């Protein structure tokens, strides 16, 4: 769990940093000129503008974690990786597919759910 958490952090942190860094300074200056304080600018301007990029980092991290969780079988962690490793070791393709297909479906489901979440939270940007 610790290793998967550490694996998930870099894409989220990098995308969060990029999302806030890429905000046009003139937008922040305009918000400040309208009388908003720093907390209001962060909550109402910067965070909503950076949210699509932050969610994209979460999407990447989720798919990486789902795919990498199968490696836990190498250290006795079990899971679907056990079927994959045993299928490879015994040249048993059906056994390998018992582990590989659910992992692929979980990765696709994760990607689709984050895409739906991103679409929901950024609907105001498309109008």
* pLDDT band, residue 122 (cuts 50/70/90): confident
- Mean pLDDT taken over the chain: 91
Using 50, 70 and 90 to split pLDDT, how confident is the model at 95?
Answer: very high
pLDDT, tens only, 68-90: 998 888 888 888 899 999 999 99
Distances (CA, A) of 4 to 25, 64, 71, 74, 101: 35, 9, 10, 14, 21
CATH of the domain at 82: 1.10.3720.10
> Domain of 51?
2-126
Structural domain total, the chain: 1
Say what the pLDDT of residue 64 is: 93
pLDDT tens digits, 38-59:
999 999 999 989 998 999 999 9
Q: What is the mean pLDDT of residues 117-123?
A: 84
């Amino acid at each position: 769990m610790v290793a998967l958490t550490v694996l998930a952090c870099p894409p989220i942190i990098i995308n969060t940093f990029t999302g806030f860094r890429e905000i046009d300074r003139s937008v922040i200056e305009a918000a400040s000129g309208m009388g908003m304080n720093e907390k209001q600018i962060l909550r109402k301007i910067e965070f909503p503008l950076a949210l699509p990029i932050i969610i994209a980092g979460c999407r990447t991290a989720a798919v990486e974690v789902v795919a990498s969780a199968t490696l836990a079988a190498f250290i006795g962690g079990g899971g679907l990786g056990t079927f994959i490793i045993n299928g490879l070791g015994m040249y048993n393709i059906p056994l390998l597919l018992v582990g590989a297909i659910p992992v692929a479906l979980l990765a696709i489901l994760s990607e689709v759910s984050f895409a739906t979440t991103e679409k929901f939270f950024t609907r105001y940007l498309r109008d």
